Amino acid sequence: MKDLNQQLSEIKVVPVIAIKDASKAVKLAQVLIENGLPCAEVTFRTEEASLAIKNIREAYPEMLIGAGTVLTSAQVDEAIDAGVDFIVSPGFNPTTVKYCQQRNVTIVPGVNTPSLVEQAMEMGLSTLKFFPAEPSGGVSMLKALTAVYPVKFMPTGGVSPSNVKDYLSIPSVLACGGTWMVPGDLIDNEQWDYLAKLVREVARIIE
């Protein structure tokens, strides 16, 4: 079985989703899979997140599913119970990291400075989220970090069609997280054809 890093490096772009209605999650997952992005990071910014994850997992057992914006141990439990493959947090919280390690689930915490990278490495982590990517210095800052530290990164925050290839060209970048192909209003309004078009465009960019 492929490890998380292998899967992320093959997918290249992880759709970051805030879904308000879990009943729409399966259709959204179908759109992602059929149009070239068989992955989702479902953020805990909505009350329906864990149910959405559960629905996707039951419908598509093979899909790579992460839980994003995880801030507490309780949310870690909720995400694991729903069936996630990995956890993503916006910042580096040692308590949350330790709890994920105790629960034997991979966490990709957010960092944007050398000091945070070193703290994460001290806890045995080697795959980190560079967040918020663009406000933190973008490609140039990430290149500076990757020149020093032997870790892999998943930049998220301000990644777009205009710069995603620049990030992916950095050897230490496994994949980028992005929201532009899964805007909440299109999900709310069930505009599946337009969402499919946006996803296909991403798939073409990263070919």
Domain boundaries, the chain: 4-198
Residue pair 159/134 in contact (Cβ under 8 Å)? The answer is yes
Residue 35 to residue 206: CA distance in whole angstroms: 13
Q: What is the pLDDT of residues 117-126, one digit of tens each?
A: 999 999 999 9
Q: What is the pTM of this model?
A: 0.96
Asked if 129 is an active-site residue, the reply is yes
Candidates 12, 24, 54, 129; catalytic one: 129
1: pLDDT strictly greater than 70? no
Is domain 4-198 classified as CATH 3.20.20.70?
yes
pLDDT for 207: 83
Residue 194 to residue 207: CA distance in whole angstroms: 20
pLDDT for 24: 98
- Spatial CB neighbours of 140, under 8 Å, sequence gap ≥ 6: none
Q: Give the sheet arrangement for strand 176-178, strand by strand.
A: 152-155, 127-130, 106-111, 86-89, 64-68, 39-43, 13-17, 176-178
pLDDT for 2: 77
- Mean pLDDT across 108-118: 98
- Mean pLDDT across 4-29: 97
Candidates 41, 48, 78, 134; catalytic one: 41
Asked if 62 is an active-site residue, the reply is no
Q: What is the pLDDT of residues 172-186, one digit of tens each?
A: 999 999 999 999 999
- Mean pLDDT across 138-149: 98
